[in-house]
Amino acid sequence: MTEGPGTIVVVEDDPNIADLVDMYLRRDGFRVVQASSGESGLEAVDREHPRLVVVDIGLPKRMDGLELCRTLRGTSDVPIVILTARDSEIDRVLGLELGADDYVTKPFSPRELLARIRAILRRADPPGRGGPKPVLKVGEVEVDVDRHEVRAGGALVPLTAREFDLLAFLAENEGLVLSRRQLLDGVWGPDWVGDDRTVDVHVRQLRKKLGSALALSTVWGVGYRLG
């Protein structure tokens, strides 16, 4: 489907970190384009149409990493991984609410970053999948897995890559109660290290975007059920 691992744009103003990430990604076969500010990062994404963007939150000039995410999400569903030096939950959640697909906290191991990037890309564009998949329909919500499109009451609803994966996973398991852990394993992957609340944040986004069309129940003390 895609030739080679593709291009990744790395938006990071610290040249040491940028070069380290660059080196690891290249070693894995990616083509890397670096940008040292939000503004130049945005230009690079427009120009390169990368498969994924790595964004540092703390960027100089007017457009910081959060602002860059917000701007990118206005026009694109390219997967975004955030780098943050601020180890507070609020920033993490904020990053996810802005539509990032994952984050790592500085200081991070480049290996961990790479594992997360690989996992996101595997989900976004799985290799060797078979024929066309059916459109999953739960109530008024339709999930077209092949076209990566979601409709609510017939109207197209833009979702981030992660929100889409979560909704598709819930739809594939229609009627079953899924725990946060099962959702993390199924959507984020068993290697993902993070807070269960990540699931809640994404569920909140799905509810906000799909409104009453989404027949998603919270099962108290257990998790969630769609349909």
The residues of the shown chain that bind Ca ion, judged by CB under 5 A, are 13, 56, 58
To Ca ion, the closest distance from the beta carbon of 85 in angstroms equals 7
Nearer to Ca ion, 103 or 224 (CB): 103
CA-nearest of 76, 115, 83 to 99 is 76
Nearer to Ca ion, 65 or 223 (CB): 65
Within 10 A of 159 (CB to CB), how many other CB atoms are there?
23
Nearer to Ca ion, 58 or 139 (CB): 58
To Ca ion, the closest distance from the beta carbon of 216 in angstroms equals 37
To Ca ion, the closest distance from the beta carbon of 92 in angstroms equals 16
Q: How far is 40 from 2, CA to CA, in rounded Å?
A: 26
Joined tokens for residue 6: 């593709």
Residue 178, φ and ψ in degrees, nearest 5: -115, 130
217 strand-pairing partners: 225
Within 10 A of 43 (CB to CB), how many other CB atoms are there?
13
Residue of this chain nearest to Ca ion (CB atom):
58
Joined tokens for residue 118: 């690989």
Rounded to whole angstroms, the maximal C-alpha distance in the chain is: 50
Which amino acid is located at 45 in the chain? Answer: V
Joined tokens for residue 158: 């833009």
Nearer to Ca ion, 13 or 102 (CB): 13
Nearer to Ca ion, 58 or 189 (CB): 58
To Ca ion, the closest distance from the beta carbon of 30 in angstroms equals 21
To Ca ion, the closest distance from the beta carbon of 71 in angstroms equals 17
Nearer to Ca ion, 58 or 158 (CB): 58
Joined tokens for residue 29: 């076969």
To Ca ion, the closest distance from the beta carbon of 13 in angstroms equals 5
Q: How far is 83 from 165, CA to CA, in rounded Å?
A: 22
